[in-house]
Amino acid sequence: MGSSQRIVCWRAVTPAAKSWHLSIRHRIFVEEQRVIPFTDVDDWDSDPDTVHVLAGRGSAAVGTVRLYRTDTCGRWKGDRLAVLPGHRAGIAGMRLVRFAVSTAAAAGGDVMDAFVQLQNVNFFERLGWEHNGPPADYFGLPHQPMTFELSRADSLAESEIPDDACLRLPAARTAPSALLAAVS
Ligand SMILES: CC(C)(COP(=O)(O)OP(=O)(O)OC[C@H]1O[C@@H](n2cnc3c(N)ncnc32)[C@H](O)[C@@H]1OP(=O)(O)O)[C@@H](O)C(=O)NCCC(=O)NCCS
């Protein structure tokens, strides 16, 4: 359980923030869950329109989500939702999902899609997401396709963006791989 300090989400636009974002993702999806081998960085990360998001608690960067348009008709996708283990069950995940849908709605989106790991389906349902077809494999692991109608998103609160210089990335349990340094 994380501390009672407030969770704040913002776009990771500076090189430092982007590298923290990638570092958290790598720790969770490659090193902890081992869902994605080698690296979870893909072509969407080099698309200048992709939105990389960080969540902070106090002075620590603790979570990520990524979002991007998948067509020109209002469809968006959210993925790479991750919260560092010591900071889970403290609403960072909920804040990140809400920030993602609010960001896409503010950009004129209509619907957001996500492939959700089965153990997280209830969490997404509680946030208003709906099933969209049967589970399908993603990197060999079953995921539930889910959608969110962006007209239901809260308006985006952009006023609480912290100064990156005040933040730190909590120490990893294991040393980050050399690969991460190479890709970030
Ligand atoms: C999924 C994930 C992002 C959720 O992040 P989180 O910060 O723990 O999310 P929240 O704290 O908002 O909510 C998580 C749960 O804790 C509960 N919770 C939140 N605050 C709580 C509190 N103060 N006390 C007790 N429980 C609390 C929530 O009700 C929620 O319960 P649920 O899982 O039954 O829905 C996180 O577990 C994670 O990074 N997992 C590994 C990567 C992953 O699975 N990513 C998603 C791929 S689809």
* Residue 178 belongs to some domain of the structure: no
Domain assignment present for 174: no
Cβ of residue 89 lying under 6 Å from some atom of ligand 1: yes
Higher pLDDT, 177 or 98: 98
In a domain, 22, yes or no: yes
The reply to whether 176 falls in a domain is no
CATH, residue 78 = 3.40.630.30
Phi, psi of 115 (to 5 degrees): -100, 115
What separation in Å is there between the alpha carbon of 182 and the centre of ligand 1? 30
Nearest CA to ligand 1 atom 31: 123
Identify whether 145 is part of a domain: yes
Counted domains in the chain: 1
184 domain-assigned: no
Report the amino acid identity of residue 105.
A
Given a cut of 80, is residue 18 above it in pLDDT?
yes
The dihedral sign for the CA sequence 96, 100, 105, 107: positive
Give φ, ψ of 7 to 5 degrees. -90, 130
Query: For residue range 102-149, what is the model confidence (pLDDT) as tens digits?
Result: 999 999 999 999 999 999 999 999 999 999 999 999 888 999 999 999
Q: pLDDT digit string (tens) for 36-94? A: 989 999 999 999 999 999 999 888 899 999 999 999 999 999 999 999 999 999 999 99
Two tokens, residue 55: 């969540």
CA angle 133, 43, 147 (to 5 degrees): 25
Least Cα distance to 76 among 94, 56, 95, 53 occurs for 53
Report which ligand 1 atom has the smallest distance to the Cα of 2. 23
Cβ–ligand 1 contact at 9 (below 6 Å): no
**82 falls within a domain:** yes
Does 179 fall in a domain? no
Please give the Cα distance from 180 to 184 (Å, whole number): 6
Instruction: Identify the domain containing residue 33 by its residue range.
Output: 7-167
**pTM for this model (two decimals):** 0.88
